[in-house]
Structure formats: structure tokens, C-alpha cells
Amino acid sequence: MPKLTEAEVRDLVKANNRSRRLSDDFLVCLIYKECKFTPRRNDTGSSAAGIMQIMPSAVDEVNKTLTAGQRFKHSDISDNARCIQAATLYLDIRIRWAGGDVTAGVNGYGTGAGYADGILACEACMRKTPLGGLTCLLKVDW
């Protein structure tokens, strides 16, 4: 898949963010961390896929919370919009499992302790820097 622009990612996030807890800026930063805006299947032997590098087991967890007509298929993850929908629902599940602690929940989504740090720093930069976007994405130590 071709690389998306920041504007394209923002539009996708705005239309598909199902999280009750995470801002669109946060999700743009997470997507940048995961794939640098190039949706892909992970080539390191992981089964993570899509713009948010969601795992099939995470899709299964999301589906446990949805009715039959709302559920995601694993193949949906190759669609950017559906991937964002499933992954943001899963992020909320992880945060709930962490007792409402966003950092702990997001660390559980990613590679563990420290995973959320760069994303949170990027989000803070975007909130305080007018037109921060790419500047914030590039200045964070991922």
C-alpha cells in the first residue's frame, strides 16, 4: 500500500476513531509510530497488520464486546477505516483492563513498558504547537 499523507491519516482517524478516551492527535501519533503512515502487514514474523498494526487476537477481543452484525473479520484489518475502528475499540478495552490508566493500557497494546511514552509526548506537542503535525512526529524519540 502507498504511504498516506498526514492529512489523509487525520481524515481517517476523525471519521473512524471509536475510542472514548483517546484523542485524534494521540491516534495519529500512534499510527506514525506503528507504520510511518504506510499501512502494511508486519514482515517480522508478527501477525500484526494494518495501519495500526493490530493483532488477530485483539480483533477477537473486540468481537467479544460486539453483536454479530457489528463484528470485524480479520480480513477487515487491511482496510484502513475498519482497522482504525477495531484498534480504537481495542485500545479502550486495554485501558479499561488497566483500571483507566491510559499509559498502562497503551503499553499493553504495544511492546510493553515505555511504548506509550513517545505517543504521549507527540500528542502533547501537537496540542501546544500550532500546526505541529509533522514537526511533532519527527521530533519525538520513538
CA distances from 129 to 13, 79, 134 (A): 20, 31, 11
25 domain-assigned: yes
Residue 2's pLDDT band (cuts 50, 70, 90): confident
Which CATH number is 44's domain given? Answer: 1.10.530.10
20 by Cβ neighbours in 10 Å (0-12 / 13-18 / 19+) ranks as exposed
117 domain-assigned: yes
1 domain-assigned: no
pLDDT at res. 79: 95
130 domain-assigned: yes
Range of the domain at 35: 6-139
CA dist 28 and 36 (Å) reads: 10
CA dist 22 and 47 (Å) reads: 24
21 domain-assigned: yes
pLDDT in tens, 23-53: 999 999 999 999 999 987 665 677 889 999 9
27 domain-assigned: yes
pLDDT in tens, 62-108: 999 999 999 999 999 999 999 999 999 999 999 999 999 999 999 99
65 domain-assigned: yes
C-alpha cell at 50: 494494518
Number of structural domains (the chain) is: 1
Residue 129's pLDDT band (cuts 50, 70, 90): confident
Angle of the 80-97 helix axis to the 102-109 helix axis, nearest 10: 130
44 domain-assigned: yes
Other CB atoms within 10 A of residue 102 CB: 17
